[in-house]
């Protein structure tokens, strides 16, 4: 049995060793593998997956995906004739392959962000199920290699609300995709647990008395808050329903901070705040679409032929056409992830530094952008207000104040976030957990509880 944090930014797997959870090393990726996938063509994902499925699943899968498998086989033959790689890559290697040739292949980051999306067509749901299953298959193989045995039972973390507009319908869509993918790659027993609750279970192991804990999990895709009644007495129970006092969650996470930082910190160097020759302000819609990597509709519109023509007209109408040509380069060479990745890496660097220079000379010769902590704080005011509202909502629902605030999630590492949380809870102790490991550890503890 394992705890499986299939995260928006990273994935991790835990097992119990005695009374303590251990996060497993996943081959060369270390304990955390970035939630990314790169394929030489989108059409070959289904073929890679079929090849790596358990034998018991392959026949059914071949029948269900017959047309896609045939199309993928034809693409594989072309790739082989052209001397191109035919395998999928995951984690950091996936990002490296994308950055080498952004306009070739198929790259996806944080597919979890799309699972609850509204308006997905059946073929899109199938594609996401295949992508998730491929990533899960890779992680399952790495886990079994590390353990030297098969694993068939898992608890997978889930946000309070996935990133969709249809509430519980979006949640059920996402859970169905995750469940189907997990069962397909060989997990026989699949359960889910709220990510903030799982993080709370890990913190609970250190408590010696009954405590009201507000867990704030600021992850890559969502921010989730849970007010929990925790302590030694509660930890001994399998039924924790009465201890879960409230939940709140929304699609506000590290990806949103990165996107906002890219828009407000980097896009001015691509002409966003400039003027047209007519004296009017530059239209900003294409800039937002360019960085909205977690929105299928925006990305489709940005990369459409119609938008390419629109950008070329903007260049002719712009007072500073060279800056607009940079945005056209992003559009023509499919560099959205490149720009947002630059913002993300700068956000990470600003954890330890006050300023950071971004090299974007691959987009325009000599282009660099200077970013700093103050600019990050100003760019993310809306996201911070939304997180404050979520925490307040959880407290209101629970009808009590927390004795302690337990904070986890990679985004919470930012000094800007730390300062913000201290301002919100000036008279309540704040405990910072393992930013990346608390959820995995808690999922692992819960797996032992329910499967033992």
Burial class (CB in 10 A: 0-12, 13-18, 19+), 92: middle
Asked whether residue 321 falls in the same domain as residue 390, the answer is: no
Query: How many whole angstroms separate alpha carbon 85 and alpha carbon 88?
Result: 9
In a domain, 444, yes or no: no
Model confidence at 412, in pLDDT bands (50, 70, 90)? confident
In a domain, 142, yes or no: yes
Model confidence at 163, in pLDDT bands (50, 70, 90)? low
In a domain, 273, yes or no: yes
In a domain, 199, yes or no: no
Asked whether residue 158 falls in the same domain as residue 179, the answer is: yes
To the nearest whole percent, how much of the chain has pLDDT over 90? 78
Mean pLDDT of the chain: 92
Contacts (Cβ under 8 Å, ≥6 apart) of 82: none
Mean pLDDT of 305-309: 96
353 φ/ψ angles, rounded to the nearest 5 degrees: -125, 155
The domain containing residue 374 runs over which residues? 255-379
In a domain, 193, yes or no: no
Mean pLDDT of 8-23: 94
In a domain, 195, yes or no: no
Asked whether residue 275 falls in the same domain as residue 322, the answer is: yes
Residue 80 has pLDDT above 60, yes or no: yes
Boundary (domain end) residue, out of 156, 187, 218: 187
Residue 307 has pLDDT above 80, yes or no: yes
Asked whether residue 181 falls in the same domain as residue 36, the answer is: yes
Asked whether residue 172 falls in the same domain as residue 213, the answer is: no
Asked whether residue 29 falls in the same domain as residue 64, the answer is: yes
Asked whether residue 368 falls in the same domain as residue 425, the answer is: no
CB count in 10 Å sphere of residue 374:
12
Model confidence at 438, in pLDDT bands (50, 70, 90)? very high
Mean pLDDT of 364-376: 95
Mean pLDDT of 432-442: 88
Asked whether residue 306 falls in the same domain as residue 358, the answer is: yes
In a domain, 385, yes or no: yes
Asked whether residue 275 falls in the same domain as residue 393, the answer is: no
Mean pLDDT of 264-270: 97
More confident residue, 255 or 190: 190
In a domain, 175, yes or no: yes
- Count of domains observed in the chain: 3
pLDDT of amino acid 166: 55
Asked whether residue 401 falls in the same domain as residue 366, the answer is: no
Asked whether residue 259 falls in the same domain as residue 238, the answer is: no
We report the CATH number of the domain holding residue 224 as: 3.30.420.40
- pLDDT tens-digit readout, 317-369: 999 999 999 999 999 999 999 999 999 999 999 999 999 999 999 999 999 99
- pLDDT tens-digit readout, 206-263: 999 999 999 999 988 889 999 999 999 998 888 888 899 999 988 888 889 999 999 9
Mean pLDDT of 188-214: 93
Model confidence at 294, in pLDDT bands (50, 70, 90)? confident
Asked whether residue 232 falls in the same domain as residue 303, the answer is: no
């Amino acid at each position: 049995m394992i705890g499986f944090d299939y995260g928006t930014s990273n994935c991790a797997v835990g097992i119990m060793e005695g009374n303590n959870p251990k996060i497993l090393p996943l081959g060369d990726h270390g304990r955390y593998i970035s939630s990314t996938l790169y394929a030489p063509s989108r059409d070959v994902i289904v073929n890679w997956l079929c090849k790596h499925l358990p034998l018991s699943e392959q026949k059914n899968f071949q029948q269900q995906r017959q047309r896609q498998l045939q199309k993928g086989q034809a693409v594989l033959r072309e790739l082989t004739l052209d001397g191109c790689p035919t395998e999928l890559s995951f984690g950091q290697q996936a990002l490296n392959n994308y950055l080498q040739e952004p306009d070739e292949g198929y790259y996806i980051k944080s597919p979890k962000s799309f699972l609850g999306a509204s308006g997905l067509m059946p073929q899109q749901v199938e594609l996401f199920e295949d992508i998730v299953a491929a990533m899960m298959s890779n992680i399952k193989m790495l886990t079994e290699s590390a353990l030297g045995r098969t694993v068939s039972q898992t608890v997978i973390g889930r946000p309070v609300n996935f990133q969709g507009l249809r509430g519980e319908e979006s949640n059920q869509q996402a859970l169905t995709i995750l469940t189907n993918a997990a069962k397909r790659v060989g997990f026989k027993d699949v359960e889910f647990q709220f990510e903030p609750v799982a993080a709370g279970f890990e913190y609970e192991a250190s408590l010696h008395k009954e405590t009201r804990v507000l867990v704030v999990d600021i992850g890559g895709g969502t921010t989730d808050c849970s007010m929990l009644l925790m302590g030694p007495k509660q930890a001994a129970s399998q039924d924790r329903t009465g201890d879960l006092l409230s939940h709140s969650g929304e699609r506000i996470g590290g990806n949103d901070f990165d996107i906002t930082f890219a828009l407000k910190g980097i896009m001015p160097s691509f002409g966003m705040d400039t003027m047209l020759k007519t004296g009017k302000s530059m239209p900003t819609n294409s800039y937002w679409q360019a960085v909205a990597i977690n929105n299928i509709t925006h990305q489709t519109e940005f990369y459409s032929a119609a938008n390419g023509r629109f950008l070329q007209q903007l260049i002719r109408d712009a007072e500073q056409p060279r800056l607009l040509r940079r945005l056209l380069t992003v559009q023509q060479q499919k560099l959205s992830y490149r720009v947002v990745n630059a913002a993300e890496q700068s956000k990470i660097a600003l954890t330890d530094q006050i300023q950071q220079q971004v090299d974007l000379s691959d987009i325009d010769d000599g282009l660099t952008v200077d970013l700093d902590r103050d600019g990050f704080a100003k760019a993310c005011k809306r996201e911070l207000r939304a997180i404050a509202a979520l925490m307040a909502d959880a407290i209101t629902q629970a009808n009590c104040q927390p004795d302690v605030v337990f904070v986890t999630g990679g985004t919470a590492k930012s000094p800007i976030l730390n300062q913000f949380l201290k301002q919100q809870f000036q008279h309540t102790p704040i405990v910072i957990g393992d930013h990346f490991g608390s959820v995995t550890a808690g999922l692992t503890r819960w797996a032992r509880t329910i499967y033992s």
